[in-house]
Structure 1
Amino acid sequence: MDPRHIWTTRDVALKVHSSFRVIGLFCHGFLAGYAVWNIIVVYVLAGEQMTTLANLLQQYHSLAYPAQSLLYLLLAISTVSAFDRVNLAKTSMALRGFLTLDPVALASFLYFIALILSLSQQMTSDRINLYLTANETLWPPGSEQQILRPWIAVNLVVALLVGVAWAVISTRPDIDYTEEFLMTMEVEGYPRGEENQDIPA
């Protein structure tokens, strides 16, 4: 029996990892475009010099939950996908990548920061979603500037971070230290040096 036709745990891991990398690459690009679209919509509705924030609230409140939920989902997938390339199993190698600003490590860091920033604005997104039904406790008169300006600024920073991270990933999509590690690891019962040898029936 030829062991090359037998699926080992390493083969399964490589297949799953390869499939997730394809999904991750799609999410990287989609997230970058979506984040830019989202911030453009916000700035258009907010008006020049943010003089029409009331219009932003009236028009965007129904989009707040679905828009932010999709953003969180894409950020989570992209962050995991980026970190999945770093090979965190090798701590020293991962730390060296972060210290030397390796493209994969840099993208992972940028996605992680973007995810944290987005989560930090969840309360504001909740307020926006409840704008029409909220009482003065959530939206005191004249509080739009104070509440929305930081939220808009954070969304702009998130769009910039994911855009840079996507650019870094897209320039070197072939870098994947985890896959290299999986390719060289030994499977119990099938050492690397014996994988191409025939096993007696």
Structure 2
Amino acid sequence: MDVKALWTTRDVALSVHRGFRVIGLFTHGFLAGYAVWNIIVIYILAGNQLSTLSNLLQQYKALAYPAQSFLYLLLALSTVSAFDRIDLAKASVAVRGFLTLDPAAIASFLYFVALILSLSQQMTSDRINLYTPPSENGSLWTAGAEEQILQPWIVVNLVVALLVGLSWLFLSYRPELDHSEELMFHAEVEEFPELDKSLNVQS
């Protein structure tokens, strides 16, 4: 029986890891485009110098909850995928990556910041989703408070779009960079050196 034909647990782990990396690359690009589309829609509906915020609330309220939830889902997947490249199991390697401005480490940090910022505005997104004119009874909005509430939300969405765009650029610069796989592969070589030698002698 050919020993190389047998799949070990490590082989399965590496295959799953590589498959998730491919999915992650697609998610990074899709997230960057989606975030840009989202902020463009927001600024178009908000008008020049945020002059038509009432129009933004009326038109975007149907999109607020699904759009922001989908953005959060993509951010979560991209953050996990990015952190999966820097091997957090070894803190020294991860810290060295941040200090040496490693693209994967920088992208991981930017995605994490974008994720936190997105979560910080989730309450505002829920409030937009429940928007009713201030003149109606039970409305969560008061007249004249739209700009005070929406301006930070718009700015955060803009910052998130910039962060995910930069993260995607960093990862696209070296898409094959994956410290987790490197360490897993080296560990496999170091774990079975004698087995490799015996196989070479038999062949």
Task: State the one-letter code of the partner of 1:163.
Answer: G
Q: State the one-letter code of the partner of 2:112.
A: F
**Partner residue of 2:4?**
4
Alpha-carbon distance, 1:136 to partner: 5.4
Name the amino acid aligned to 2:145: S
Q: Per-residue deviation at 1:193?
A: 3.6
| TM-score for the superposition, normalised by structure 1 | 0.93
State the 1:5 CA deviation.
Answer: 1.3
Aligned to 1:154: 156
2:150 and 2:197 map into 1 onto residues whose CA distance is: 63
Partners of 2:24 and 2:78 within 8 A in 1: yes
**1:14 alignment partner AA:** L
Check conservation: 1:4, 1:195, Cα contact below 8 A: no
Contact 2:132–2:139 (CA<8 Å) still a contact in 1?
no
Q: Which has the higher contact order (CA 8 A, sep 6+)?
A: 1
Unmatched runs of 5 consecutive residues or more in structure 2: none
**Structure-1 separation of matches of 2:61 and 2:153:** 13
Question: What is the distance in 2 between the residues matched to 1:88 and 1:6?
Answer: 29
Change (3 A) 1:2 1:195: farther
Tell me the distance in 1 between the aligned counterparts of 2:20 and 2:2: 28
Of the candidates 131, 141, 144, which is equivalent to residue 143 of structure 2? 141
For 1:81, the aligned partner's letter is: S
What amino acid does structure 2 have at the position aligned with 1:191?
A: F
SS of the equivalent of 1:30 reads helix
1:19-59 Cα offsets, whole Å, 9 max, x none, are 00000000000000000000000000000010000000000
SS class of match (1:63): helix
Quick one: percent identity of the two aligned structures?
A: 69
Deviation at 1:148, TM superposition (A): 0.1
Question: Per-residue deviation at 1:137?
Answer: 6.0
Is the CA contact 2:103–2:171 (under 8 Å) kept in the aligned structure 1? yes
Tell me which amino acid in the other structure corresponds to 2:152. Answer: P
Which consecutive residues of structure 1, in runs of 5 or more, have no partner in the other structure? none
8 Å CA contact retained: 1:61, 1:129: yes
Q: Distance in 2 between matches of 1:192 and 1:26?
A: 36
Q: CA deviation at 1:112?
A: 0.3
Aligned residues: 198
Q: Counterpart of 1:181?
A: 183
The answer on whether the counterparts of 2:35 and 2:71 sit within 8 Å (CA) in structure 1 is yes
Contact between 1:88 and 1:94, CA under 8 Å: does it hold in 2? Answer: yes
Choose between structure 1 and 2: higher helix proportion. Answer: 2
Task: State the partner residue of 1:194.
Answer: 195
Secondary structure of the residue that 1:175 maps to in structure 2?
A: coil
SS at match of 1:59: helix
Judge conservation of contact 2:86–2:104 (CA < 8 Å) in 1.
yes
Partner of 1:73: 73
Q: Does the C-alpha gap of structure 1 residues 135 and 158 become closer, same or farther in structure 2, counting only changes over 3 Å?
A: farther
| Cα distance in 1, alignment partners of residues 62 and 96 from structure 2 | 45
Any residues of structure 2 matched to 1:15-94 within 5 Å, and which? 15-94=15-94
Instruction: State the match for 1:170 in structure 2.
Output: 172
Is contact 1:4-1:196 (8 Å) kept?
no
Q: Aligned partners of 2:143 and 2:173: how far apart in 1?
A: 48
- TM-score, scaled relative to structure 2: 0.92
Once residues 21 and 92 of structure 1 are traced to their aligned partners in structure 2, the CA distance between those partners, rounded to angstroms, is: 22
Q: CA RMSD in A?
A: 2.0
